[in-house]
Structure 1
Amino acid sequence: MNIHKNARLTPLRREEMALSVIEGRLSQADAARTYGVSAQIVARWVERYKAEGSKGMIDRSSRPARMPQATATSIAERIVALRRQRWTGSHIAMEVGVSPATVSRVLKRAGLSRLKDIEPAEPVRRYEREHPGEMIHIDIKKLGRFSQVGHRITGDPQKGKSRGAGWEFVHAASTTLRASPSRKSCPTRKKKAPSPSSRRRLPTTPASASRSPAS
């Protein structure tokens, strides 16, 4: 919601002011002094709240109910039709007999101000091929030859030109591959941990054998 730039009150404050008068907590004069507006403004918001409630606290459109000088519908439709034939704004104005500003306003409302709006861009087309090499794209890059050191090294644009040196062409070919399906990995069996009884035990050396005889 766009609030008027000179508005002193927001919709919430307008409702608060109107309720303070309706409920008898403030008179219209006291409410005007409290909220910094005139008594006429207070009366306007009070009457609007009584008629519409909270929805009436929002700013209304300032557009007049009748516009005798508005562009006729038939003229606007003709302007749009000529625009779809890729006519420029000045040519449309001369053909229809209106000002270029009128044509600009009509085209802006119709969303046809720019020529690219008449024919929207085509969606991106994506495709896949069944076999590799079924479709090949070839791009050609044109590169200029040079017979002497260029201006990036010499610093002189006039001396760094290689006139008549010719051209080189680079051809790059690419093919469209089909997206390979994801391979399903074979489930691996979890190895069971060996039980304590099945583990191999090393023979223990008797304590008497490991000790050296006393001298």
Structure 2
Amino acid sequence: MFMVAVTTARKWAERYRTEGEAGMADRSSRPHHSPARTPEPLVRQIVRLRWRHRLGPVQIAGRLGLAASTVHAVLVRCRINRPRRIDRVTGEPLRRYEHPHPGSLIHVDVTTFGNIPDGGGHRYVGRQQGARNKRTTPNLPRGNDYKPRTGTAFLHTVIDDHSRLAYAEIHADEKTPAATAVLRRAVAWFAEHGVHVERVLSDNGSAYRSHTYRGTCTELGITPKRTRPYRPQTNGKIERFHRTLAEGWAYARYYPTETARRAALPGWLHFYNHHRPHSSTGGQPPITRLTNLPGHHT
């Protein structure tokens, strides 16, 4: 009548006789016993090689004499099949954190980019043409080898932990006066967006350890915090922003001069904050996390 096999009807009938209506609930199709499952001692060896040596399924399979598909199945079952879920230093699963509201914590750091000579840098015109462009760019200083030096642009960056809203300025150095000036302007910029900054996290650079910087934090009512030495993962959100900055702005296209690249920074930051989807904010741009701030719509 129901177009099922006799064995299926018998199974359900026996289950109803022995368990009643409770026996009619759906059950997992997983078998009670799996004789072919990878033994636990072998699973521990696979996990140990993954954590300690960052090996992939093929390399682990070669060392242990297993099929790569078997190793991959074990890694998936243990939830360590994707390297981004593992800390590069300790090999332990990543412990991610996010502060509960905008302004609870901001990250500050400095990244550097080589200045572009007139005519374009070597990334787009090649090393030979890039060297010629350096020689023909006026007023460049000379090194001990008498070769021209384009110099370095120090990009001071600030990013909000909760919303990933970003602020950046280019300076000639990373010393204390520049760091404190950037912090003041960044706090004012966040205040314009309705964000009150409570804490600031930095690395252990000399500018962030100075009395002037700490005094500026006290004046602004901000609690300064520093990462553990040799532990950049603590400040990982801004380190990842630097990578996005390099790919999306610094080396995204051909710039004929350094002035042209610097002129493109404000527009790119606006795109990043207001239009670029961000994976940590559910595929929405960072600015969307500020729309429900108290008093934002008054």
TM-score of the pair, normalised by structure 1: 0.46
TM-score of the pair, normalised by structure 2: 0.35
Q: Which has the higher helix share?
A: 2
